[in-house]
């Protein structure tokens, strides 16, 4: 599946998703009354509603999760400057992580081009990166999102 990021104006391809698992919590809450083991009501919208999941992606050449905008940079330096270590007392690292932006991910079927799902207001909570021979870069992402909108595929 093609993995694209939507920024409000256009979509851009950031890699290829080979596996995705997600669970949607719809915000139900069971309400119990005194002396009854059964819920008196199952209230829709009274509990937290969210999407949690994980995906495995193959990233495009010369990219990292930080460059793609999936996660915030964890240092104050840049690869171009060669200075990748934060200065003592530098708060840039905490600022980047605390104010990371939500992203809109869209997954498309590679053959038909139809939308499989859209994950809106998504933030990556943790990730791991593996680099194999021939420069193939794979990342496993664990995420939370506000909405999962199904597509047609």
In a domain, 12, yes or no: yes
Q: Are strands 136-145 and 103-108 parallel, antiparallel or unpaired?
A: unpaired
pLDDT for position 95 = 47
In a domain, 65, yes or no: yes
Q: Using one digit for the tens of pLDDT, what is the confidence trace for 95-110?
A: 445 556 788 999 999 8
Q: Which domain holds residue 27?
A: 2-79+90-150
Q: What is the CATH number of the domain that holds 68?
A: 2.40.30
Q: How many CA atoms lie within 13 A of 71 on its CB side?
A: 20
What would the mean pLDDT of 31-41 be, rounded to a whole number?
A: 91
pLDDT at 26 exceeding the cut of 90: no
Helix (H, G, I), strand (E, B) or coil at 92: helix
Burial zone of 122 (CB within 10 Å; 0-12 exposed, 13-18 middle, 19+ buried): buried
State how many domains the chain has: 1
- CB–CB of 90/99 below 8 Å? no
In a domain, 6, yes or no: yes
Helix (H, G, I), strand (E, B) or coil at 114: coil
pLDDT at 147 exceeding the cut of 80: yes
In a domain, 84, yes or no: no
In a domain, 85, yes or no: no
* pTM of the predicted protein model: 0.74
């Amino acid at each position: 599946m093609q993995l694209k990021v939507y920024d409000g104006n256009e979509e851009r391809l950031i890699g290829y998703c080979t596996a995705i698992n997600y669970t949607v919590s719809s915000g139900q809450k069971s309400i119990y009354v005194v002396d009854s083991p059964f819920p008196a009501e199952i209230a829709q919208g009274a509990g937290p509603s969210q999407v949690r999941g994980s995906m495995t992606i193959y990233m495009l050449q010369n990219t990292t999760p930080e460059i793609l905008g999936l996660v915030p940079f964890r240092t104050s330096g840049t690869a171009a400057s060669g200075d990748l270590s934060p200065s003592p007392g530098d708060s840039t690292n905490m600022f980047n992580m605390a104010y990371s932006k939500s992203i809109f991910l869209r997954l498309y079927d590679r053959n038909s081009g139809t939308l499989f799902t859209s994950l809106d207001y998504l933030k990556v909570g943790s990730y791991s990166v593996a680099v194999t021979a021939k420069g193939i870069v794979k990342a496993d992402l664990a995420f939370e999102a506000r909405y999962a909108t199904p597509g047609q595929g």
